[in-house]
Structures are given as structure tokens and as C-alpha cells.
């Protein structure tokens, strides 16, 4: 009976111990399971965040690629614009040089034209003077050759001299006028008369050169 009681006590103790051991293991198991589930939930959360970060990275990489492509295109456009600008500047410099040359040529042409006008004006004056001097010669020699000069009265001769003087003045030749007035002031000096005539005869071809 005693052995039976002891056996029952031991058996109960063993059962209690076994039951006690199983209870501890279950709590630890539940705690481990809870931790595992929490870890899995955290891993899932981190995986979700990682996926979002990767998605954002892909978006940023695409944006970066687009920006780099746009930058490359812009750089190409900038290089082309620089080339066009350089060409335009070169063309402008060439045009300015051409314009400067044209202006220089125009200035030279204007100077030549002014000189030509001046030369023409001098020639016209010389021709006008030569024409008048020829008329003076005709006024002197034609009456002398026809004998009319020697048949003039004093008043008529004076009128002829005044006409000659007016013609000499009209010629605008100061030397001819000076020699004529010298001849008039000394009418008896044949050398002054010859000097006046020689000057007129030599001045005509010079003025026509």
C-alpha cells in the first residue's frame, strides 16, 4: 500500500514535472513564434520600403538619363550655335574688310573725280582763254592783212584798242592783260607790242595742251 502511494506520488510528480516542462516550452515557442512573425513583418516592411526605394531609384535614373540626353542635345545645339556664330563673325569681318576696301576705292574715285573735274575746269578755262586770244589775234591780223588797220581814224583806232582791251580782260589771262596795259602805256615802244603779240601767239598752243 505504501509502495503504491509512493509510486502514485512519484508518478504524479513526474506528470507534474512533465506538464510543467511542456508549459515552459510552449511559452518559449509562442515567444519565438511571435518574434519570428514580428521579424517577418519587419522584413516585409523593409522589403516594401526597399522596393519603393528601388522604384524611386529607377525613376531618378530614368530622369537622369533624360537629363543627360537633353544636356547632350543642348551641348550639340550650343556647339552648332558657336560654329554658326564663328562663321557669322568671320563673314562679318570679311564684309567689313570688303566695305572698307570699297569705301577706300570710292574715296579714291571721288578724289580722282574731283581732280578730273578740276582738270576739266582748267581745260575749259584754258580753251576759253585760247579762244579769246585767237579772236584777239584775228582782230589784230585780219585788219592788218586787209589794210583796214592802216585806214582807221584816230577815234576808230581808239575804239579798236578798247575792244582789244575788253577782249584781253575777258580772257582772264593776267599776263596778257599786264602786257597789253604796258603796251598801251607806252604806245611808241615796239618791243612791248612785239612782247604782247609773242606772248599771245605762244600762249594759245600752251593753253590747248
- Mean pLDDT estimate for the chain: 79
C-alpha cell at 146: 586787209
Contact 206, 129 (CB under 8 A): no
**Helix/strand/coil for 14:** helix
The mean pLDDT value for 174-179 works out to 90
| End-to-end alpha carbon distance in the chain | 180
C-alpha cell at 21: 516542462
Q: Please tell me the predicted confidence (pLDDT) of residue 6.
A: 55
Residue 152: is its pLDDT beyond 70?
yes
| DSSP H/E element including 129 | helix 2-146
Contact 201, 192 (CB under 8 A): no
Q: Is the dihedral of CA 77, 82, 87, 93 positive or negative?
A: positive
Residue 19: is its pLDDT beyond 70?
no
Closest C-alpha to 208, from 125, 145, 144: 125
pLDDT in tens, 94-104: 889 899 988 98
Q: Please tell me the predicted confidence (pLDDT) of residue 65.
A: 83
Name the residue with higher pLDDT: 45 or 39: 45
Q: Please tell me the predicted confidence (pLDDT) of residue 42.
A: 72
Q: Please tell me the predicted confidence (pLDDT) of residue 29.
A: 63
Residues comprising the chain, all counted: 209
Residue 36: is its pLDDT beyond 60?
yes
Contact 183, 189 (CB under 8 A): yes
Closest C-alpha to 200, from 132, 121, 123, 122: 132
C-alpha cell at 13: 510528480
Q: Please tell me the predicted confidence (pLDDT) of residue 157.
A: 80
Q: Which residue has the cell 522604384?
A: 55
Q: Please tell me the predicted confidence (pLDDT) of residue 2.
A: 60
pLDDT in tens, 62-92: 888 888 888 888 888 888 888 888 888 888 8
Least confident of 20-24, 46-50, 184-188: 20-24
Percent of the chain with pLDDT over 90: 2
Amino acid at each position: 500500500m505504501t509502495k503504491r502511494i509512493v509510486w502514485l506520488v512519484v508518478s504524479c510528480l513526474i506528470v507534474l514535472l512533465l506538464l510543467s516542462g511542456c508549459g515552459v516550452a510552449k511559452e518559449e515557442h509562442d515567444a519565438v513564434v511571435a518574434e519570428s512573425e514580428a521579424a517577418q513583418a519587419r522584413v516585409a516592411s523593409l522589403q516594401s520600403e526597399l522596393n519603393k526605394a528601388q522604384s524611386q531609384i529607377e525613376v531618378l535614373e530614368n530622369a537622369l538619363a533624360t537629363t543627360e540626353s537633353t544636356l547632350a542635345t543642348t551641348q550639340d545645339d550650343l556647339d552648332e550655335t558657336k560654329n554658326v556664330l564663328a562663321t557669322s563673325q568671320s563673314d562679318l569681318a570679311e564684309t567689313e574688310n570688303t566695305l572698307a576696301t570699297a569705301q577706300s576705292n570710292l574715296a579714291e574715285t571721288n578724289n580722282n573725280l574731283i581732280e578730273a573735274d578740276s582738270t576739266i575746269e582748267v581745260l575749259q578755262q584754258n580753251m576759253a582763254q585760247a579762244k579769246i586770244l585767237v579772236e584777239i589775234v584775228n582782230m589784230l591780223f585780219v585788219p592788218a592783212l586787209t589794210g583796214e588797220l592802216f585806214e582807221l581814224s584816230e577815234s576808230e583806232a581808239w575804239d579798236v584798242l578798247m575792244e582789244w582791251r575788253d577782249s584781253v580782260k575777258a580772257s582772264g589771262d593776267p599776263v596778257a592783260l599786264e602786257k597789253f596795259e604796258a603796251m598801251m602805256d607806252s604806245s611808241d615802244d615796239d618791243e612791248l607790242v612785239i612782247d604782247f603779240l609773242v606772248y599771245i601767239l605762244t600762249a594759245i598752243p600752251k593753253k590747248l595742251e
